[in-house]
Structure 1
Amino acid sequence: MRIQDSTVINDLTIGITTVAFSKDEELVNTINNQGFKNVLINQPQRRFTQDELIAFLAKCDVAIVGLDKINDEVLSRVPKLKAISKYGVGLDNIDFEACRRHNVRVLHTQGVNKRSVSELALGCMLSLSRRIYVTSNELKAGDWNKQGGMQVTGKKVGIIGVGHIGKDIIELLKPFGCEILVNDIIDQQSYYEENGLIEATKEEIFKNADIISIHTPLTEDLKYFINKDSLSLMKKRAIVINTARGGLINQDDLKWALKNNIIAGAAIDAYEVEPPTDSDLISLPNLITTPHIGGNANEAVQAMGLAAIDNIVAYCQKD
């Protein structure tokens, strides 16, 4: 898609805050080819501080944003900004009420990176269950440990958050014949029945699941919902996977659970502070830690970037 009416774009400056987009030459070329007056990218190629974000957005009419916090404090200092296009699918970093107050449109497309995230979650399930990650590191350290873990096939898997990504991981798990327990705030009874899923409370999932995979936004109600209390309810062989948002898991409590064999293992791809600063946590042998790559498979980077561009083009054509 390309804007046809050049009068719409002659005076528009487009800013791209997200690092993955700014690093992708093909995406940068694509948006440059739309004919905008000026396209600014994230030159430092790292997450902006709030002051850096404000200084950057102050130059922009429209911006493509990733995980940047878009709140009242930011918006009150960037009066030129008229719209933001979300790169990615998580929206909990955007204060929609503040955007309405400041007349900033939020443009977004859901589900474009779901397979990238769900494949990572499945990979972590297999790697931790069969102890691929653990024994590989042990062997590199000279320890020949032939403990092969447990199969994923036939196990009870708890999916907390049954949106685009939750549904996709359920699809990927079908060949494994798992008993899948699901929890979501939205009533999806017909979907559950069609797919042989068992609706359960979070507490039931904590108590009964062998593997728990989290796919929820970060809200006040869900802040630290994985904590000492919930971890203590889990089986000793349980595995917890968070490819969603930092802050859903209390990292100190998770560290306690992993160190004391309360649960068998965990994988986290998102952190409250990124990059994470707790070296004791990330060095644990039964914890897979990835640098927030869930949505960053090459195919997903392209899909999210093109969706963000298309949303801007549609916005400009409409206006």
Structure 2
Amino acid sequence: MERVLVTPRSLSENPPPELGLLTEAGFELVFPAPGRLPGEAELLDLVPGCVGWLAGVEPVSPRVVAAADRLRAISRNGTGVDNLPLQELERRGIRVLRAEGTNSVGVAELTIGLMLAVLRQIPATDAGIKAGQWPRLRGAEVAGRTVGLVGCGAIGRHVARVVSIMGADVIAYDPFRPPFDITGPFAWAADAGDVFACANIVTLHCPATPDGRPLVDAERLGRMRRGSVLINTARAALIDEDAVRTALDSGRLGGYATDVFDPEPPLPGGLAAHPRVVATSHIGGLTSESVAKATRIAVTNLLQALCAEPVA
């Protein structure tokens, strides 16, 4: 029986019924330790002999690809592939498949939730009440502010529609300039730097930069309006953590909300512990709806790739 490796945390901890399509097709499923990102050593142990891989966001090194002696296809349960060594996979003839747009609503809704949590200081208020206090912290509204988006794929466009309905102006940067359907004032920025200079709230919805340098560095943070808010539900590599910490300490940034870290979980005492940071544990796509949709599409993609040849 041929084997398929299944590594997304949402699938290894609580395998959903959609995975049954693989077993019904005659494949044996192989899982890492449940509920956490597998490291290189664990992947090196698991991947030999597997013909297919339903992959998450875990980093995949060229060493792991070299050990994948029978691998024919990797199917992501999402759209990002910057955790994969694409050139090495292409050289080996291993197909890379993506589940396009499956978690866009979940990530967009979390982005809005984080935005409101920072603006209304919800975590600090909740913590104070649970500690027996009665904090009444003055917040801010989305309405009347300018929300800047860097990246306008399915997630960014959904965020733009919601904040527009809430009464915000929108400024966005995306080199492809996809069509927008929003109700309020909207402007395209000439470059990403203009978004940081013009917006009160900046939210990131783009892949990591090709050269690996942070998109959000001291220079861009220095251009932001004092007290602005930064939201990151995209990639940890997009920000310079030291620069963000400095901006928070100085008040240049009024708050930073993030769903992504490097490493995950973050180290104790790091940026996540800052009092002006609202942190979640990479749960943007972790909704019942997103997991079911992404798994179904990823499984279908993998079956189409693998079953073009007879299953042993």
TM-score of the two chains, using structure 1 as the length reference: 0.89
The aligned amino acid for 1:198 is A
Distance 1:38 1:86 in 2: 18
State the shift of 1:143 in Å: 4.6
1:179–1:237 distance in 2 versus 1, CA, 3 Å: same
CA contact (8 A) 1:181 1:199 kept: yes
Decide which of 244, 254, 260 is 1:270's aligned counterpart.
Answer: 260
- The match for 2:171 is 181
The aligned amino acid for 2:40 is Q
- The match for 1:150 is 140
Bigger mean CA offset, 277-286 vs 154-163: 277-286
The aligned amino acid for 2:222 is S
State the shift of 1:248 in Å: 0.5
Tell me, yes or no, if structure 1 residue 103 matches structure 2 residue 97.
Answer: no
Decide which of 159, 183, 186 is 1:197's aligned counterpart.
Answer: 186
State the shift of 1:116 in Å: 0.5
Tell me, yes or no, if structure 1 residue 56 matches structure 2 residue 46.
Answer: yes
Distance 1:27 1:114 in 2: 22
| Helix, strand or coil at the partner of 1:272 | coil
CA contact (8 A) 2:12 2:34 kept: no
State the shift of 1:214 in Å: 0.2
Decide which of 70, 78, 83 is 2:60's aligned counterpart.
Answer: 70
State the shift of 1:97 in Å: 1.7
State the shift of 1:142 in Å: 4.7
Tell me, yes or no, if structure 1 residue 94 matches structure 2 residue 84.
Answer: yes
1:155-304 matches, within 5 Å, as 155-188=145-178, 190-191=179-180, 196-200=185-189, 201-221=191-211, 223-304=213-294
CA contact (8 A) 1:113 1:300 kept: yes
Distance 2:247 2:185 in 1: 32
State the shift of 1:63 in Å: 0.8
- The match for 2:69 is 79
Identity of aligned residues (%): 27
1:7-86 matches, within 5 Å, as 11-27=1-17, 30-86=20-76
1:289-315 per-position Cα deviation (integer Å, ceiling 9, x unaligned):
111111111211111111111111222
TM-score of the two chains, using structure 2 as the length reference: 0.91
| Helix, strand or coil at the partner of 2:230 | strand
Distance 1:195 1:306 in 2: 35
Distance 1:37 1:62 in 2: 9
Distance 1:40 1:308 in 2: 16
Distance 1:280 1:187 in 2: 36
The aligned amino acid for 2:59 is K
Distance 2:306 2:184 in 1: 41
1:78-120 per-position Cα deviation (integer Å, ceiling 9, x unaligned):
1211111112221111222211101111111210000010000
| Helix, strand or coil at the partner of 2:202 | strand
Distance 1:175 1:29 in 2: 38
The aligned amino acid for 1:176 is M
Distance 1:155 1:115 in 2: 22
| Helix, strand or coil at the partner of 1:171 | helix
| Helix, strand or coil at the partner of 1:120 | helix
Distance 2:133 2:90 in 1: 58
| Structure 1, unpaired ranges of 5+ | 1-10
CA contact (8 A) 1:158 1:182 kept: yes
CA contact (8 A) 1:128 1:134 kept: no
CA contact (8 A) 1:239 1:265 kept: yes
Distance 1:43 1:268 in 2: 25
* Aligned alpha-carbon RMSD (Å): 2.1
1:4-61 per-position Cα deviation (integer Å, ceiling 9, x unaligned):
xxxxxxx421111122112223336524542324111223442111121122111311
1:267-295 per-position Cα deviation (integer Å, ceiling 9, x unaligned):
01111211111424222222101111111
1:309–1:29 distance in 2 versus 1, CA, 3 Å: closer
Distance 1:71 1:101 in 2: 14
- The match for 1:5 is none
